Structure 1
């Protein structure tokens, strides 16, 4: 499915087909990483948040994202 959608996204018909990329952020409050990042090799631009970005998401929260 990923390859199929990638082909459409890279084609000149992507707009007409309604295929586009959407930004996504994965946040967790767990101190133990229990989810394997199996998806990192298929998403575009996967990167860790900087300390400043993480602080912005944690502002005003009693339970912090890690």
Structure 2
């Protein structure tokens, strides 16, 4: 599977609770925090849900 780096670039303040929980489940929560994760359908869906708050780069 491919790995991606997901970096939070926008704040979660004022966002719906489900988006806040999605960021937490991804291991994000502060601006500029990054994770490297293998992409699968579940992770892909989570990224799609908060794609306006994060930046995704292939590794």
TM-score normalised per structure 2: 0.30
TM-score normalised per structure 1: 0.29
Larger Cα-atom Rg: 1
Higher relative contact order (CA 8 A, sep 6+): 2
